Amino acid sequence: MTQELADALKDISPSEAARVASRYAALKDFVYVTADGDKLDAKAYDLEVEYCRELIKRYVEKHGPLTVEGVGTLRLQDRALAWNWDVRSLAENDPATFARLLELGCVTLDTKVADAQEKAGNVTGFRGYGHRGGTSALVIQKGE
């Protein structure tokens, strides 16, 4: 958080809150206009960017870097991925380290996998040990 935002959050007047809310609404309703004149809302823009990215990525994977005049060269760059752990092997081969990781909150349950296993009838009884978090989202309710 920037210092400017931190200072602004201390206390703002109702008129300042209204001004910022108007700006927020305008930004949320922002329309992207492409060089060829297409107008896209934020969701359409994100979908188009993803479509183009995937199409060009497939092309570059197959044919190598693509140089486009006025754009530059599009190429693939390797990125590091997250670690994947063999937790079963860790628990079997180094139970003390596994227990310590569990105690420190480093070992978590993959809810999607657990849900699928529960539906398949392979596991039950774990739901009593979980809790669901929550958050709030700022939404704009349009007037009628």
Does 57 map to a domain? yes
Mean pLDDT rounded to a whole number for the chain: 86
Please give the pLDDT value at position 28. Answer: 76
Residues 10 and 61 in one domain: yes
Tokens of 84: 């994947």
Please give the pLDDT value at position 22. Answer: 83
Residues 25 and 63 in one domain: yes
DSSP string, the chain: --HHHHHHHH---HHHHHHHHHHHHHHHT-EEE-TTS-EEEHHHHHHHHHHHHHHHHHHHHHH--EEETTTEEE-----PPPP---HHHHHHH-HHHHHHHHHTT-----HHHHHHHHHTTS--S-GGG---------------
Does 140 map to a domain? no
Residues 57 and 96 in one domain: no
Domain span including residue 56: 3-74
Does 143 map to a domain? no
CB 65 within 8 A of CB 73: yes
Please report which confidence band the pLDDT of residue 8 belongs to, taking 50, 70 and 90 as the band edges: low
Per-residue pLDDT tens over the stretch 45-98: 889 989 999 999 999 999 999 999 888 899 998 888 888 889 999 999 999 999
Does 79 map to a domain? no
Residues 62 and 110 in one domain: no
Report percent pLDDT > 70 for the chain: 94
- Over range 101-110, report the average pLDDT: 92
The domain total for the chain is 2
Please give the pLDDT value at position 84. Answer: 85
Residues 56 and 106 in one domain: no
Does 81 map to a domain? no
Residues 58 and 95 in one domain: no
Tokens of 41: 């809302």
